[in-house]
Amino acid sequence: MSAVEERPAVRSRAAGGAVGWRAAATLPVWAEVKRQATRRRTQLALGFMVLLPVIILIAFEFGSNNSDNNDQNGGGAFGSLVDLATSGGLNFALFCLAVSAGFLLVVVVALFCGDPVASEASWGSLRYLLAIPVPRVRLLAVKLVVALAYSLLALLILTATGLLVGTLRYGWHPLGSTVAAAIPPGQGVLRLLAVVGYLAIILMVVAGLAFLLSTLTDAALGAVGGAVLLWILSSILDQITALGSIRVGLPTHYSDAWLGLLSTPPQVDDLVKGAIAAVCYATLFWSLAFWRFTRKDITS
């Protein structure tokens, strides 16, 4: 064997890997995408994103039969939001996002980001993945990217379905608001996309927290439930005015700042603060997840 033919083997042994082994070739992203797509929880979560706007539409249709009673008893602020939601497809899609952002989307994102690593550990397959060998950083990065992609897909499916069924039922009209004049449909679509983008950024905090917990426990339910409970706790603390300026540091403090996009002109100060805070929190949680996972003993 010539010296030229020996060099690749020498380089591979020096790097600690077999001949032809490349870290970038292990655990392809597309393979993880297809794998997660076959999971029942993925199918149910995305399916419910389609089903929810339909359920809300049916509820509105049945509720319209009792509108006289609602007028007599007083619908309150929520009643005015319902009236606004039935005034066009844009408003209906916005309503679907509004009623989902506080809890449902939090659960879905926590499910996608808190389940991948913990479920592998609970099945006992995590150590076998690492023995293929898949580098720990790559394994975690691929699972995080796929989890974020499915979380974003769920958000887009909910918005698109709400816009579709709302437009088919209530027509294509300006985006209304309880705090400002109606926004023309063209600008309304851009405002709606901006709301979706901001919610995606805010939900990165949930994604980061769930992913961190997923690397700390072998119980997927614990990672998902822990992220949801901590988000709810932050929301509760944010309502306690006695905490004063401490509330500004809570990850949920600017979760409703997207309402500023419905005013004319848009109020973006809180949007910028909320986006920066969310990115900082998410980066911190993801960094801790990678730091912990690359140093822990994998026994399951």
Q: Where are the domains of the chain?
A: 45-293
Who wins on pLDDT, 78 or 184?
184
pLDDT recorded at residue 11: 42
Each residue's pLDDT tens digit, 267-294: 899 999 999 999 999 999 999 999 988 8
Mean confidence (pLDDT) of the chain: 83
| pLDDT mean over 12-39 | 66
pLDDT recorded at residue 265: 84
Confidence check: pLDDT of 260 > 80: yes
Each residue's pLDDT tens digit, 109-119: 999 999 888 77
Confidence at 145, pLDDT banded by 50, 70, 90: very high
Chain center to CA of 103? 11
Confidence at 7, pLDDT banded by 50, 70, 90: very low
Residue 259: closest CA among 89, 87, 97, 49: 97
How large is the C-alpha radius of gyration of the chain? Answer: 23
Confidence check: pLDDT of 9 > 50: no
Own/partner long-range contacts of 120-123 (Cβ < 8 Å, ≥24 apart): 121/217, 121/218, 121/298, 121/300, 122/218, 122/219, 122/220, 122/300
Is 173 strand, coil or helix? coil
Own/partner long-range contacts of 222-230 (Cβ < 8 Å, ≥24 apart): 222/118, 223/110, 223/114, 223/115, 223/118, 224/107, 224/110, 224/111, 224/114, 224/115, 225/110, 226/114, 227/106, 227/110, 227/113, 227/114, 228/106, 228/107, 228/110
Confidence check: pLDDT of 123 > 90: no
Confidence at 6, pLDDT banded by 50, 70, 90: very low
pTM: 0.85
pLDDT recorded at residue 132: 64
Confidence check: pLDDT of 81 > 60: yes
pLDDT recorded at residue 177: 73
pLDDT recorded at residue 291: 93
Confidence at 50, pLDDT banded by 50, 70, 90: very high
Instruction: List CB contacts of 76: < 8 A, sequence separation 6 or more.
Output: none
Confidence check: pLDDT of 60 > 80: yes
